[in-house]
A and B are shown apart, each in its own frame.
Chain A
Amino acid sequence: MKSSVYAYAATALLALGNCLPNSVQAAEFCADQYYVEATLPNQSRWDMCWEHRNREGIVLHNIHYTPKNGTRRMVLYQAAVAQIHVPYDDNGARYHDVSDYGLGGNYMSALTAQECVGGQLLSYSGKNVLCQQVTPRDDAYSVDNDRLQGDALSLFSVAAIGAYNYIPQWRFLDDGAIEPSIGATGALQRFGAANIAEHGWLLESNKVGIAHLHNFFWKLDFDLGGTGNDDAVEEINYTQNAGKLTRANTPFTSEAARSVNPATLRSWRVMDGSLKNSKGLALSYEIQLPESVQRDVGPSTEPFTHNDFYVTKQKSCELFASHNPTTNGCAENLSAFVNNESLGGQDIVVWPSTTFYHMPRAEDAPRMDTHWSHIRVIPRDWHDKNPLSTSAETTADTTPPPPPPANGTVSNNANGISVNGNLNDWASLTSFGRDPDDVSGTNNKLNWLEAWAANDAERVYLAYQTKGNIDTSGFWGYQAYVDTDASTTSGYRTGALGADYLLEGANLWRYTGNGTSWSWAYQGRMTSQTSGTAAEFSFPRSWLGNSSEFRLLFWGNNAAFGGDAKDVYPDGAFNTASTTRYFTYKMYTPTSTGTATSISNPAANLSINGNLSDWNSLTSFGIDPIDVAGANNPLDWQEGWLAHDSSNVYLAYRTFNAVDTSKLWAYQVYFDTDSNSTTGYGNGAVGAEYMLEGRTLWRYTGDGDSWSWVPQGSTTNAFSGQTAEFSFPRSWLGNTTHLRLMFRGNNAVFGGTTEDVYPNASANPRYFAYRFQ
């Protein structure tokens, strides 16, 4: 931990002054006056030479990095800005500022001490052209209480080209990273009258600042470890699938032009062919282009803009990304430098680029604040460990990241469960695992052994088994805390949970407090049955806010029986180091993605009474998520069923809110009986020959577009709370043997704006298939 950053700059300058004459490297690659060397406060060291060129301005070469207590190695043989290409949106100008003007010569500004704060000015031909500074760079790393401030060597010059001032800057960080950047300030170069506002932005005095791009290019000639012809370049991409990100590294064997790809998280790296770190990994530098969101593919006459990253064989006449001198048989632009030459055994050069799209704003006049563009060049396996820390490696047995995840999310279909105190019907389902027999003593009769949860579309079921017989005289001691929003910031904080609900005996409570107070509102009495060591419960899903997943822990308080033992299940619920601090239950959900494979529910004796319990053994079309919200959008489909017998069709649905029988026309079910979307009423999902709207079945008579229906008849129907049931003769659907159907809810009738379709509009197919057999 650093005690002071304040003294760093001064120290570094002193060090520089003292070391420069003694440095044996000083004369190695250039005259002393063009040699820059800085030992950063953390004892990393960078040294390099610079030269002045009329076009590229300051060009750096023989760039060496020496980690603290490490080996001095060359990273870059040469590094330069290779073009600033500035096309304007009105096509009134397309500048090539480096090749056609220049960052050096007369364009290069003389710098003053005021703009090189705490730094040192370096001169060329009697003009101070380069500012060298050591500046703090915020955290180098931070973990627990081990925190280190980092620093960087920074070199910048300024070139005034037209109204623009460009600031090419190089930062060399004490962890070996390099950050090339270019700032742009000054004033806007081109304005137009208000009639070309479409090509820019209207500013004060009715002037239009014309929008333009700055395409920045760099030429980086890496010679890792000092050898120029044994480097290799590869591209890193990922494929994404099923929660996994799979890396693939692809080497370039010949020159290439490549682009950023955010879907494959693409980056590149330059690797040394022989040097390896202590782990056997090749020393390399990785290049990332994080600021390429406005990358621009220009016209066919500017093919060098068509890619973001180029790899070529080094040629001394290839200097500029565009308007390159074509003497000596050299190509005119970067895209033509890439001409399929082999990279094997060659001196390799990479040309990264990034783009700033400048849509002017009022604040850009009369002076324009500096906007910056950066690329990222970081060492990869250049070191064995973090060069700024001596701490030991992270141990290999590090547990997975926080918070400790609950093991094994459980999900059970409650089909067939009856709440009768007999747990046989749970035998095929997955429990939360066995809890050890870990409580003893006569007054400590509450000793959890195992618990289960299950659900169907309507209800949640819970069962547990204890070592001794369940004693309902102290039923309050049998508690389960349920966290339905996976958040400790809401609900009663206990263990790793913020419990939004509490099951206590047969009662279910909802938390109303501030997280620590014991404040619960009564939610209801569960259906329950105990028998010996077993207890079973069920209650409506809505009692848990219709959540799709919850976490729970069981807490047995033997104070209910005069005992002192508390049995927690899972055992680690209150141990922060435990990997299992709660169980996770995920509501069982039949698929609801639309079904091309048809469902068939031959059924007898379905009674139309609004109670869907007689549909339990039938197959639904799956759960539709809670996908509409707002007070005026109450119609949100939850689940639907179709069934038939020899003469009738039966239909049932459940919505997340009570069915509003005063506005039933909002509840529509479309039937496509010829499975042809081009016949019948086309609603985007099906071509419907029939429609159930509210209580009435309608037949379509229009041309596919018009809203033309004649009534087939009024169904037998019943409504109860969130559920609705219907039956009508199969002949009303033309005695079809197959059909497709979809549900559509229009909240406009309730004053809302959201339509809920089931299956969802994103499903494929957008209908459910049903067959009568």
Chain B
Amino acid sequence: MQYRTPLLTLSLLIVWQNPVFAAPGNTCTGQALSKTFASGASWNLCWEPRQAEGIVLSQVTYKAPNHAARRVLGEAALSQVETALDDGSVAPLFLTTEAGFGGNNLQTLNAAACTNGTLHATSGRNVLCATTRAQGYSYKYTTQRQGQLWELSSHSQIGSRNYAVRWRFYENGTIEPSLGLSGELPVVDASATQYGWPAMQSGKVATGFTDHALWRLDFDLDTSHANDVVEEIISTPSADRLRKTKTITRLNTETGRNFDPETKRFWRIRDGILSNGSVGQISYELIPNRYDHSRANSSNTPWLANDVFFTRYNACEKHAANNPTSNCTANVSQFVNAESLNQQDIVVWYKQSYHHLPRSEDSNRIGTVWSSFQLLPRDWHSTNPF
């Protein structure tokens, strides 16, 4: 068989080549914003509104007191919100790409909507509210310290629903993105009680729905965006379940992964080179939330089949689902196509699903429900900078 040898040789010897992707820039897009806390900790970033995603943040840099500033994220946005009705009466909608968090849906905010904060405008409209808030104890031991956080929030009215997108930047380097669901119930006439809740005075059934928030987090740790690695950390229980043994595995190719309580699985994005000056290498880890709804995927779509996807940066991979396909594949499950993640520009796609079962309390106004998660520095510093 004359072709077998070349095949073997090729597959063993192929030197991986750089496809020609548009290189991600180091420049901010939009307007610069920064916050320096009294402690000397500071955050620097840029923000711009886009038609689909609404507010997109770029070049997010954190500086701890008496430490150098380092970039954390090259770009970060809520890349897609897919909403599915319990009764399946309408095909799932992609609110980000089919309606948009930006454009006219991005609400103009007035001073009352930004109490104690500062409004920021784009195209003459105030759309972003920046607020400094107390966070309570930063730590308490023999002494205690009260911490602060800096919050950027915007609101988008999409049909009957109103979404708040809120980014919290803590003094200690923690980033907490949140999606707040409010507004009015989208459909109050489900075909059967099992698809909702008879929350209406008329006895009509308000239809339940699931919002799948698909976040895109382009990590570019420190100066080089192209030398990051993904590590999966698990702690395997012994047979008698009295002990756990940690193992760290580098994820070398693009993949979709799931949380797993049994092994306490989590991931961190680590710079390929930089150490914290001590024994650790600088990284950020993902702390999820809404585990209790995390397997919601009634249409069994591949982009909702994993909690987290890790891909290599590709400029046209913008939306985790319903991505424009002119130059690119359509969703994050297809973005995963065996490209290397080793010393690359890593993009983390985190899916957070929240199912809303209406209640009488929602029949005129949905009380805001927040769904949040955290990005936590791990060994970013050799010790607690405070």
B378 contacts A403, C-beta separation under 8 Å: no
B159 contacts A402, C-beta separation under 8 Å: yes
B241 contacts A299, C-beta separation under 8 Å: yes
Nearest CB of chain B from residue A403's CB, rounded to whole Å? 5
CA distance A384 to B158 in the complex (A): 25
Q: Residues of B contacting A299 with CB < 8 Å?
A: 240-242
B233 contacts A186, C-beta separation under 8 Å: no
Q: Residues of A contacting B279 with CB < 8 Å?
A: 202-204, 206, 362
Q: Flag B353-386 by CB within 8 Å of A: 1 or 0 each.
A: 0010101111111111010000011111111111
The contact of A707 among B4, B107, B183, B196, by CB within 8 Å, is B4
Tell me, yes or no, whether B28 is within 8 Å of chain A by CB: no
A140 contacts B368, C-beta separation under 8 Å: yes
CA distance A290 to B259 in the complex (A): 13
Tell me, yes or no, whether B38 is within 8 Å of chain A by CB: no
Tell me, yes or no, whether A281 is within 8 Å of chain B by CB: yes
* Given contacts A369-B139, A385-B364, A487-B98, A2 and B322 within 8 Å (CB-CB): no
Tell me, yes or no, whether B185 is within 8 Å of chain A by CB: yes
A142 contacts B291, C-beta separation under 8 Å: no
The contact of B366 among A138, A141, A486, by CB within 8 Å, is A141
Tell me, yes or no, whether A114 is within 8 Å of chain B by CB: yes
B365 contacts A500, C-beta separation under 8 Å: no
B324 contacts A293, C-beta separation under 8 Å: no
Tell me, yes or no, whether B79 is within 8 Å of chain A by CB: no
A626 contacts B291, C-beta separation under 8 Å: no
Q: Residues of A contacting B189 with CB < 8 Å?
A: 396-398
Nearest CB of chain B from residue A216's CB, rounded to whole Å? 15
B245 contacts A199, C-beta separation under 8 Å: yes
Q: Residues of B contacting A620 with CB < 8 Å?
A: none
Nearest CB of chain A from residue B114's CB, rounded to whole Å? 10
CA distance A298 to B243 in the complex (A): 9
Q: Residues of B contacting A362 with CB < 8 Å?
A: 276, 278-280, 378-383
B97 contacts A115, C-beta separation under 8 Å: no
Tell me, yes or no, whether A645 is within 8 Å of chain B by CB: no
B159 contacts A490, C-beta separation under 8 Å: no
Tell me, yes or no, whether B204 is within 8 Å of chain A by CB: yes
Q: Residues of B contacting A401 with CB < 8 Å?
A: 83, 85, 90, 93, 159-161, 186-187, 209
- The interface stretch among A25-33, A50-58, A234-242 is A234-242
CB neighbors of A among B254-290 (8 A): 259, 261-262, 264, 266, 276, 278-280, 285, 288-290
B115 contacts A2, C-beta separation under 8 Å: yes
Q: Flag A375-389 by CB within 8 Å of B: 1 or 0 each.
A: 000111111111111
A265 contacts B293, C-beta separation under 8 Å: yes
A293 contacts B1, C-beta separation under 8 Å: no
The contact of B363 among A114, A141, A386, by CB within 8 Å, is A386
* Given contacts A362-B381, A396-B188, A396-B189, A141 and B141 within 8 Å (CB-CB): no
A369 contacts B158, C-beta separation under 8 Å: no
Tell me, yes or no, whether A370 is within 8 Å of chain B by CB: yes
CB neighbors of B among A241-263 (8 A): 241-248, 260-263
CB neighbors of A among B116-133 (8 A): 116
CA distance A145 to B365 in the complex (A): 12
CA distance A588 to B193 in the complex (A): 35
* Given contacts A143-B183, A288-B292, A211 and B235 within 8 Å (CB-CB): yes
B19 contacts A488, C-beta separation under 8 Å: no
Tell me, yes or no, whether B144 is within 8 Å of chain A by CB: yes
B364 contacts A487, C-beta separation under 8 Å: no
Nearest CB of chain A from residue B343's CB, rounded to whole Å? 16
CA distance A371 to B298 in the complex (A): 33
* Given contacts A244-B88, A245-B355, A369-B384, A487 and B246 within 8 Å (CB-CB): no
B325 contacts A297, C-beta separation under 8 Å: no
Tell me, yes or no, whether A23 is within 8 Å of chain B by CB: no
- The interface stretch among A472-480, A598-606, A627-635 is A627-635
Per the CB 8 Å criterion, the residue count for chain B at the interface is 150
A359 contacts B233, C-beta separation under 8 Å: yes
B329 contacts A186, C-beta separation under 8 Å: no
Q: Flag B84-98 by CB within 8 Å of A: 1 or 0 each.
A: 111111111111011
The contact of B262 among A292, A297, A368, by CB within 8 Å, is A297
B243 contacts A89, C-beta separation under 8 Å: yes
Nearest CB of chain A from residue B211's CB, rounded to whole Å? 11
A632 contacts B19, C-beta separation under 8 Å: yes
Kindly report which residue of chain B lies nearest to residue A305, judged by CB atoms: B241
Q: Flag B309-323 by CB within 8 Å of A: 1 or 0 each.
A: 000000000000011
B291 contacts A490, C-beta separation under 8 Å: no
Q: Residues of B contacting A628 with CB < 8 Å?
A: 337
Q: Residues of B contacting A117 with CB < 8 Å?
A: 134, 146
Q: Residues of A contacting B363 with CB < 8 Å?
A: 384-386, 393-394
Q: Residues of B contacting A34 with CB < 8 Å?
A: none
Tell me, yes or no, whether B22 is within 8 Å of chain A by CB: no
CA distance A267 to B11 in the complex (A): 50
Tell me, yes or no, whether B17 is within 8 Å of chain A by CB: yes
B296 contacts A245, C-beta separation under 8 Å: yes
Tell me, yes or no, whether A746 is within 8 Å of chain B by CB: yes
Tell me, yes or no, whether B162 is within 8 Å of chain A by CB: yes
A363 contacts B97, C-beta separation under 8 Å: no
A368 contacts B139, C-beta separation under 8 Å: yes
Kindly report which residue of chain B lies nearest to residue A266, judged by CB atoms: B292
B113 contacts A147, C-beta separation under 8 Å: yes
CA distance A291 to B93 in the complex (A): 27
Nearest CB of chain B from residue A298's CB, rounded to whole Å? 6
Q: Residues of B contacting A242 with CB < 8 Å?
A: 88, 298-299
Most chain A CB atoms below 10 A, which of B88, B155, B183, B235? B235
Tell me, yes or no, whether B200 is within 8 Å of chain A by CB: yes
Give 7 CB contacts A-B under 8 Å.
A142-B155, A143-B182, A145-B107, A150-B368, A290-B292, A386-B361, A486-B97
4 further contact pairs, Cβ within 8 A, besides A262-B293, A279-B198, A394-B188: A281-B198, A295-B261, A393-B201, A630-B339
Q: Which chain B residues have a beta carbon within 8 Å of chain A's beta carbons?
A: 1, 3-4, 6-7, 10-11, 14, 16-17, 19-20, 50-52, 83-95, 97-100, 107, 112-113, 115-116, 134, 136-141, 144, 146-147, 155, 157-162, 164, 166, 172-173, 180, 182-189, 193-196, 198-204, 206, 208-210, 233, 235, 240-247, 259, 261-262, 264, 266, 276, 278-280, 285, 288-300, 322-326, 328-329, 334, 337-339, 355, 357, 359-368, 370, 376-386
What 4 pairs between A and B have smallest CB-CB spacing? A402-B159, A665-B3, A293-B291, A243-B88
